[in-house]
Amino acid sequence: MATIEEALELERLERDIFRGAFPKTQLPRTFGGQVAGQALVSAVRTVEPRFQVHSLHGYFLRPGNPGAPTVYMVDRIRDGRSFCTRRVTGVQDGDAIFTMSASFHIGDEGPSHQDEMAEVAPPEDLPDAETSMDPERLWAMREWEHWDIRPVPQEQVTRRAGVVSPQQVWFRYRHPLPDDPLFHVCTLAYMSDMTLLGSSKVTHPDEPTQNASLDHAMWFLRPFRTDDWLLYDQTSPSAGFGRALTGGKIFDRGGRLVAAVVQEGLIRTLRR
Query: Model confidence over 10-30: pLDDT tens digits?
Result: 999 999 999 999 999 999 999
122-272 and 1-107 share a CATH fold:
yes
Rounded average pLDDT over 93-112 = 96
Q: Which CATH superfamily is domain 122-272 in?
A: Hotdog Thioesterase (3.10.129.10)
The helix-helix angle for 181-191 and 32-44 (nearest 10°) equals 160
Domain ranges across the chain: 1-107, 122-272
Rounded average pLDDT over 233-255 = 97
State pLDDT tens for residues 63-74: 999 999 999 999
State pLDDT tens for residues 139-189: 777 888 999 999 999 999 988 999 999 999 999 999 999 999 999 999 999
The CATH architecture annotation of domain 1-107 reads Roll (3.10)
Segment holding 32, helix H or strand E: helix 32-44
Secondary structure of 16-31 as H, E, C letters:
CEEEECCCCCCCCCCC
- Residue 133 above 70 pLDDT? no
Taking the C-alpha atoms of residue 100 and residue 86, their distance in angstroms, rounded to an integer, is 8
| Lowest model confidence (mean pLDDT) among 140-144, 240-244, 245-249 | 140-144
Query: Any idea which residues carry the catalytic annotation?
Result: 193, 213, 263
Residues 6+ apart with CB under 8 A from 147: 171, 172, 173, 174, 191, 194
Which has the higher per-residue pLDDT, 3 or 138? 3
Strand ordering across the sheet containing 10-14: 10-14, 17-20, 71-79, 83-92, 95-105, 52-60, 209-220, 257-269, 243-252, 230-240, 166-173, 147-151
CB 255 within 8 A of CB 269: no
- Residue 242 above 70 pLDDT? yes
